[in-house]
Structure 1
Amino acid sequence: MTNIPEHMDLSDNPKQGPLPLYCGMYEIISTPLHFHEHVELSLVIEGSGTEIVNGKAHRLSPGVASFMLPNHLHGIQCDAGHPILKYCCTFDINILLNTSYDSEWCSLLYKIGSQFPSFVELSSEETKWMSDIFHKLLLESNPTLPSPGRNSIICAMVLEALLRFIRAVSNVQSAETLQEPAIKQPIWPILHYLHIHYTDKVSLESLSEHFDVSVSYVSRLFKQYMGTSFLSYLHQLRIESAVNLLTSTHMSIIDIAAESGFESVRTFSRVFQNLKKVTPSEYRNTQH
């Protein structure tokens, strides 16, 4: 049975300054399968192991950079005795989407994880360049140091790191030759699709039509691999998304229900209270 992925959000980490951005150097032995609404860019400095992104595994070693779009399922397992030390930056992609040059790279950005792999092994020169960016980013994002223009400089450095990753990964001639075979679990394509479209009108019927399989087959996959029903899994995704909106925005409960994929606020409130044991309003109040 596959462990149900954990939902994580930006508020789980200490923030540097007013930007929705977190950057640090971390030692990792393992991280559970998880997903979040922000994007993540990382660079391995030491150690080795395996990273799984949307059901596909690749090796991690010094110089390997990885990038995850929102709601991509990912986790890490280090090799015994070789914990991974890596730079990691997580941020709201919207902080970069405010220039006239967005279209130049956005079309490539959203191909990562599909047409392009979610990782790339950088050359020694590229690794040093990326490492230097992360190091400067850590220094600049120290909120205790007064620095006019800090936010603009941080955004510029993050954009440079991201563009260098996109350049490196888009230069790979064949993404498939770099990736190890997908984990042999038929649930992965469905989970990947669901984590992207969970706020849409998605159902067992629409999934079966999209993947050209029977409704009973999709239902059985969720029971077999996730240990829960499709509807329960969908509700979990939507409620975790709602929790993030409740704690990070001033949106109304009605708007949050709709934004999270629920067709009625009544259903949203019932499911929320069933999973969180409090109403949405009560939950929001406890966070302030």
Structure 2
Amino acid sequence: MTVFIEYEDSVSYASLKKGQLPFYCKFNLIKNDILLHHHDYLELSYVINGYGTETLNGITHKIKPGSISFLLPHHIHEIHSNPQTPLQLFCCMFDISLIFESSTDAELGRILLQTGNKLPSYNDLNESEALEMNQLCRTLFNEYQSSNIGKYSVIRSKVIEALVIYARSHSATIHTYPNHLNANKKKSDWEIIQFVHNNYLNELTQDELCKKIDVSSAYISRLFKKLLNIHFQDYIHTLRVRRASSLLLTTEMSILDISVNSGFESFRTFSRVFKKQTGMSPRAFRQTSS
């Protein structure tokens, strides 16, 4: 069975309008599992109630009230909720530019960009941290729902506060890290998948991937078959078609521009691959939403 990692276009999902802060939040009661997916926004989630497990870039951990997770764009994740004690999550998604709008946030931004690499993607907050985070979540949600003057300024400041709580919860770990990564350290299997998700819009063949991460073509073939049960090139096409599908339904971009924006080397290839995967032409697909 093929494991399809879903792509979620967070901008469209949040129905953002021009001039709005690129931010979305909600409280989610998770009765059914959230399958493997990724998106182009940062995501901060916090468990209010319930128990379950979360898998971030191939690493599974238990989550409970007080568990906090932070993901960079295209980090791959899924959640399994305990049916007897379903999870209630506060989740907010926002553009990466939000944490770099002010030069005073540079240190925090550098730390957060290490998430999933030098910095763990999750933690269980202590009692005082959890109390503070609970209040922040409610304040953020109430402000997001309001039409108050200075709404987006308050939201940004509260998001930064929440990210500081997350970073400080790892303070002991951060202080033990060396100042630089070992450039020759071999990437794990899920780091390779992550690399593909970060670069699928660029020209990325299997041979080019092998050169960039210093592994054999046979290794890549076995890796994608083992983890995703799909060939490398087919997976690249799947990611690109999903992006193109989102753009076709949510923008007025020309179909030619969408093919380029989705990483296809030619319009002919785009049309052929799109029809093979969806069963209809890009034009017919766009008309399904009209």
Which category of TM-score, normalised to the shorter sequence, fits these structures? 0.7 to 0.9
Q: 1:157 to 1:246 in 2, by over 3 A?
A: farther
Identity %: 37
State the one-letter code of the partner of 1:119.
Answer: Y
Quote the Cα distance in structure 2 between the aligned partners of 1:284 and 1:169.
45
Residue number in structure 2 paired with 1:117: 120
Alignment of 1:131-210 (within 5 A): 131-142=134-145, 145-173=146-174, 187-210=189-212
Residue number in structure 2 paired with 1:220: 222
Residue number in structure 2 paired with 1:86: 89
In the alignment, structure 2 segments of 5+ residues that lack a partner are 178-187
Q: 1:2 to 1:57 in 2, by over 3 A?
A: farther
Q: 1:51 to 1:13 in 2, by over 3 A?
A: same
Task: For residue 99 of structure 1, report the CA deviation from its aligned partner.
Answer: 2.4
Alpha carbons 1:187, 1:222 under 8 Å: kept: no
Partner of residue 267 from structure 1, selected from 261, 269, 283: 269
State the one-letter code of the partner of 1:3.
Answer: V
Q: 1:234 to 1:28 in 2, by over 3 A?
A: same
Residue number in structure 2 paired with 1:70: 73
In structure 1, the residue corresponding to 2:169 is in which secondary structure? helix
Residue number in structure 2 paired with 1:4: 4
State the one-letter code of the partner of 1:10.
Answer: S
Task: For residue 16 of structure 1, report the CA deviation from its aligned partner.
Answer: 8.0
How many residue pairs were aligned? 276
In structure 2, the residue corresponding to 1:241 is in which secondary structure? helix
Alpha carbons 2:100, 2:106 under 8 Å: kept: no
Using the size of structure 2 for normalisation, the TM-score is 0.83
Quote the Cα distance in structure 2 between the aligned partners of 1:10 and 1:44.
20
Task: For residue 123 of structure 1, report the CA deviation from its aligned partner.
Answer: 1.7
Alpha carbons 2:66, 2:124 under 8 Å: kept: yes
Partner of residue 130 from structure 2, selected from 119, 124, 127: 127
Quote the Cα distance in structure 1 between the aligned partners of 2:97 and 2:259.
22
Quote the Cα distance in structure 2 between the aligned partners of 1:273 and 1:39.
31
Greater shift, 81-90 or 240-249, is seen at 240-249
In structure 1, the residue corresponding to 2:102 is in which secondary structure? coil
RMSD in angstroms over aligned alpha carbons? 2.7
Q: 1:280 to 1:205 in 2, by over 3 A?
A: same
In structure 1, the residue corresponding to 2:265 is in which secondary structure? coil
Quote the Cα distance in structure 2 between the aligned partners of 1:156 and 1:150.
10
Greater shift, 109-118 or 196-205, is seen at 196-205
Quote the Cα distance in structure 2 between the aligned partners of 1:2 and 1:270.
21
In the alignment, structure 1 segments of 5+ residues that lack a partner are 176-185
Q: 1:138 to 1:5 in 2, by over 3 A?
A: same
Alpha carbons 2:275, 2:282 under 8 Å: kept: yes
In structure 2, the residue corresponding to 1:50 is in which secondary structure? strand
In structure 2, the residue corresponding to 1:101 is in which secondary structure? helix
Quote the Cα distance in structure 1 between the aligned partners of 2:101 and 2:253.
23
